Structure 1
């Protein structure tokens, strides 16, 4: 099989297209013939060396993807062979990522796709599971998302045109929240609106605090935060009673908060890294995201605010470069010349 592999960390050029034997599933594993691999910022960061050298001496990158089950290991229902699935965290603690023609995945990390397109399946994992955690982590927030569960909530998505921002908008709107999104350009405003944002604020042209207070005079219930340090002052002014600021990305190293302003509303700052989300919360997120996708609450493509950018497997390095350069939308790697049916 063909696979994108790196044996040392560094620039995207460390990724090489190599031939490897098709692996055989061990007990509790499934072999998935990949159709598409989703590229996330953490894939890029791990390849660059953020987590140290590849622990197995080599690594196929890619946490997310979609394809068809080719074989099952001992203890896994063999009738799953031929099923279309999406996978999550395939490369977490394992060398078998999704940027390959085949990958090995623990059976608990596959989710049936049904009629959902491969493009959507490959886009679901890290961004949507992160967004789910951001939306449900607060003590007064529902830990289970479904239709209507956020009907009385106002959610502010800082950075509404990013992959996680798009996911947060779509999930929150599916759950009937009022969603305010901030963006930096008119083009990104169009994407956030296409994702379903109820209100869009261009923070380069408008006063975010003033605009949010017009929409939510008593403050917002949840903030999904792409830049925890840079937006802290704004967040502190618009968070409502018992509100939660869910920080999933941080550009600096330190955070300063106006504590006396935040104590009366009992506000909470919650930091989110999807790989360390508690198992029960992760399982609930997977279930809710799968339900939202099956019910049509999640879409992909430019008309859903998430443009898709395709790269062949041989150009995996270019796909990583695109993510490093903050490509707007979802970067996907086509893992074979012919996609599984």
Structure 2
């Protein structure tokens, strides 16, 4: 159904939705949800519901990291990141997977760090051109071998743990955008090294992204889906783990336990 003043053409259309749980008592582990019209976005015909369910927060986070003022272009799309290098920390994670795919679609050279051969396989499946297992080799040397002048952007999931590495591989004027605190909550940086290199560290909370930037993310993510640049599933480096609605509690535990990939709750037959 649609409310008063909403385009009735949306009735019966397949959509993907975003921020359904933010500042509300419930989310999407239910059969019905009521949202403002801009948060129900038409899903291209060829795109699966699985893909639609996975876009939301990881896609928005990756998009914002790649388009923050001072760190990248205003919009994503073919050629917008051409000639520049992006390092994605944790390339087997949900945000890391989306960042790899969006950066590759936009023409960037993409390097990612992982902690195991299995995660390396997933990161390559996502499209990362260079994968560094930081437990098996010297990560800074391996990254600098690929990007001698340094990387332009780091999409960072564990800033407290990776601060020294990130500073060692950043290009002059490069940016670290961090969206989580995996591995520690205290970030220590050498002040002198920061200002002589002109580098920047920027925190990112996707819920606080300005409305205009969210509208751009919706448009760019939809375009990426339409172009086949965003994919999900094992072959795309993002395994899917399915639970029926009545086992939502088990699904939540799987998320809390750090399951690699995306956890989906099936609410019915489509």
Q: Shorter chain as normaliser: what TM range? A: over 0.9
C-alpha RMSD over aligned residues: 1.0
TM-score relative to the length of structure 1: 0.77
- Pairs within 5 Å for 1:153-232: 153-232=84-163
Report the TM-score, using the length of structure 2 for normalisation: 0.97
- Name 1:255's counterpart in structure 2: 187
Find the partner of 1:109 among 23, 26, 39.
Answer: 39
Instruction: Report the Cα distance in structure 1 between the residues aligned to 2:221 and 2:189, rounded to whole angstroms.
Output: 32
Structure 1's consecutive aligned runs of 4 or more residues displaced over 6 angstroms after TM superposition are none
- In the aligned structure 2, how far is the partner of 1:190 from the partner of 1:304? 10
Q: Distance in 1 between matches of 2:150 and 2:114?
A: 19
* Partner of residue 6, structure 2: 76
Q: What's the CA shift for 1:133?
A: 0.8
Q: Can you list the C-alpha shifts for 1:88-126, whole angstroms capped at 9, x where unaligned?
A: 001111234111011111101111002111000000000
Q: 1:190 to 1:161 in 2, by over 3 A?
A: same
TM-superposed CA distance for 1:253, in Å, is 2.7
CA distance in 1, matches of 2:64, 2:116: 27
Corresponding residue of 1:292: 224
Segment of structure 1 superposing worse, 134-143 or 170-179: 134-143
Structure possessing the higher radius of gyration over alpha carbons: 1
Question: Between Structure 1 and Structure 2, which shows a larger proportion of helix residues?
Answer: 2
Q: Distance in 1 between matches of 2:187 and 2:32?
A: 42
Q: How many residues align?
A: 268
Partner of 1:314: 246
Question: Structure 2: which 5+ runs fail to align?
Answer: none
Partner of 1:89: 19
User: 1:254: Cα distance to partner?
Assistant: 1.7
Looking at structure 2, the residues matched to 140 and 95 of structure 1 have their Cα atoms a distance apart, in angstroms, of 35
Contact 1:131 1:168 in 2 (8 A): yes
Aligned residue for 1:141, secondary structure, equals coil
SS at match of 1:155: strand
* C-alpha distance in 1 between matches for 2:132 and 2:60: 25
Shift of 1:79: 2.0
Extract unaligned runs of 5+ from structure 1: 1-70
CA distance in 1, matches of 2:243, 2:27: 16
Residue in structure 1 matching 2:58, options 124, 127, 132: 127
